[in-house]
Amino acid sequence: MKKHKLYLLFSLLIIASMLLGACGGGQQAAAPATEETTKTEEAAPPAQNQPAEVGEADLDGAFNALLGSMKAYNTIKLDALAAELAEDQPPFLLDVRTDEEVQKAGHIEGASHISLRDLAKHLDLLPSFDTPIVTYCGTGWRATIAMVALRAMGWENVRALKAKFDDVIAAGYPVVEGLPEPMALNAAEPDPALVESIGEMLRSIPEGWGVIKADALNSELAENPDLIVIDVRRDEEVESKGYIDAPNYIHIPLEEFVKMQDEWPADKNAPIVTYCGSGHRSTMAMSILWAYGYTNVRSLAGGYAAWTSAGYATIGGAPDLSGAFSAMLESMTAYNTIKMDDLNAALAEDTPPFLIDVRTKEEVAEQGHITGAVNIPLQELARHLDVMPSFDTPIVTYCGTGWRATIAMVALHAMGWDDVRALKAKFSDWVDAGYAVTEGPAEEALVLNVAQPDAGIVAEIDKMLSGIPKGYGTIKVDALNSLLVENPDLILIDVRRDDEVQEKGVIAADNYIHIPLEDFIKMQGNWPADKNAPIVVYCGSGHRSTMAMTILWTYGYTDVHSLVGGFAAWVDAGYPVAEFAAP
């Protein structure tokens, strides 16, 4: 049933194209160009009125108009295109693959066809300047070049399909065999000088369409000291993700590409590679440089994502905290806690867990420590990773109450240790239970140097741990109740599961946000925008909220507390509870 509907939807495009052709003054369909007619055209004497030579000011105006009006970088996805083709006024669909490709694989039903290199020769087949146009090809690459070229020549609403033609077929969209019949429309009159300039650019496109892959770029950077790399991503992307380690690196955001011409290489024959996040924006920039006469420009296929996936050298960028924390949240068992009896039993096994006491040295000297534990005060944890075991070694953290142990557990997971649990007991309870305790400070830990965590992540975790406020972020229910009255800007984040909030209710607050801990990273879009906003996180007892608080601290939030005792302590104190209202 779905395919039948899709065939009907795409058939509407054929009808629309026929009507559009009828509006073009009743002209007959143009015959397909043959080798003989092409030779005749090439041999024809030059016209008496040659177009004026295009100036850089004309190109500036054309490309600034393109870059200043972009939406989603002028792309469209396959499903969105299918929906638009079903509308009463579908976009004009243009296939820019070669004749041979279309004859072999067919074309999307209703599409017109002009090979990319011949695009400027057959503008009579295109609709009016304000008609929406979607270009497509085999992979999306040439569609981007065609989109840039058409926008430069005056068409105002052109988007490139970001899909492979194979994906169109695999999705079951209607495909027609062979070449579509050309239909002359003569609906637009672009500037002849711009047409000639863009036409020359298109005819000069090198074999391979300007594609360079990450492996080849890595080799060329080593072999060619003159190679120039132009990064066209936005400032925040470069700052957060870093950039390719290249001797001749230039950063020009695509949005400012023409305005920042002074940053372009002076030598138009210089070897240049442009890149962005995935390859689309850099292909736009490559096309623009070609139009200005640059002769040796290529675009990185797959962009920075392909470069980093291949493991090639980068500089700067914030570490992947999202990946680190997501891995922890997706692999949690009992929220990475261990009870006192279970720890005592585990310590008696042949291969006991690695035990870390994160209390201060003064506390340990005064109260003693669990026998066999290594003492690393919480704030210093990221500075003594040389004494830590391998990433897959089971680790248990503990402190005086279990609070700092939770923070340490989250920090270690973020830095790469994948089996860390926090002891959910007070040290005094361990002593009262008669379990093994050694008086005085712990022995100096052995240097192991067996783990190599990401230096960037370690730096972020060290920064977070070093900045932990006095009191370790605790807030008690009485203080929270007062704050809710006194501070209308206070934000309350509830990290309990959906079933918990629906069954038990929530703390009554004006600024309430519900983000289950399991989805805390996935739902970053729901975090407060202001990183200096006052925030209190709570859960059922205080453990999960302390995990969430630690994550927020690591992301730079400056005023976050976790509710001691959680929702249970709030209810026990008799403070107001509201029914959960789903957003």
| Confidence at 20, pLDDT banded by 50, 70, 90 | very low
Residue 528 burial (10 A CB sphere; 0-12, 13-18, 19+):
middle
Output the pLDDT for position 50.
52
Residue 544 burial (10 A CB sphere; 0-12, 13-18, 19+):
buried
Output the pLDDT for position 5.
39
Ranking 11-20, 161-170, 380-389, 561-570 by mean pLDDT, the lowest is: 11-20
| Confidence at 10, pLDDT banded by 50, 70, 90 | very low
Same domain, yes or no: 185 and 42: yes
Pairing of strands 369-370, 437-438: antiparallel
Same domain, yes or no: 184 and 257: no
What does the pLDDT average to over 137-162?
A: 98
Pick from 412, 434, 466: which residue ends a domain? 466
DSSP class per residue in 77-125: -HHHHHHHHTSSSPPEEEE-S-HHHHHHH-EETT-EE--GGGGGG-GGG
**Strand runs (DSSP E) across 416-490, as ranges?**
420-423, 437-438, 474-475
For residues 92 and 289, give the distance between their C-alpha atoms in angstroms, rounded to a whole number: 27
Output the pLDDT for position 107.
97
Q: pLDDT at residue 19 above 60? A: no
What does the pLDDT average to over 89-102?
A: 97
C-beta separation of 94 from 146 below 8 A: yes
Instruction: Tell whether 205 is covered by a domain.
Output: no
Same domain, yes or no: 288 and 273: yes
Ranking 357-371, 447-461, 464-478 by mean pLDDT, the lowest is: 447-461
CA distances from 475 to 398, 491, 508, 566 (A): 20, 14, 17, 10
Pick from 150, 175, 197: which residue ends a domain? 197
Q: How many domains does the chain have?
A: 4
Instruction: Tell whether 206 is covered by a domain.
Output: no
Same domain, yes or no: 272 and 344: no
What does the pLDDT average to over 150-171?
A: 96
CA distances from 245 to 265, 275, 408 (A): 18, 13, 34
Number of C-beta neighbours around residue 445 at 10 A: 15
Sheet strands side by side (includes 420-423): 337-338, 420-423, 395-398, 354-357, 374-375
Q: What is the mean pLDDT of the chain?
A: 91
| Confidence at 455, pLDDT banded by 50, 70, 90 | confident
Domain that holds residue 424: 321-466
What does the pLDDT average to over 436-443?
A: 95
For residues 62 and 194, give the distance between their C-alpha atoms in angstroms, rounded to a whole number: 9
Domain with residue 11: its CATH number is: 3.40.250.10
Same domain, yes or no: 110 and 226: no
For residues 229 and 218, give the distance between their C-alpha atoms in angstroms, rounded to a whole number: 11
pLDDT, tens digit, for every residue of 310-340?
989 999 887 888 889 999 999 999 999 999 9
For residues 192 and 322, give the distance between their C-alpha atoms in angstroms, rounded to a whole number: 51
Instruction: Tell whether 202 is covered by a domain.
Output: no
Pick from 315, 348, 363: which residue ends a domain? 315
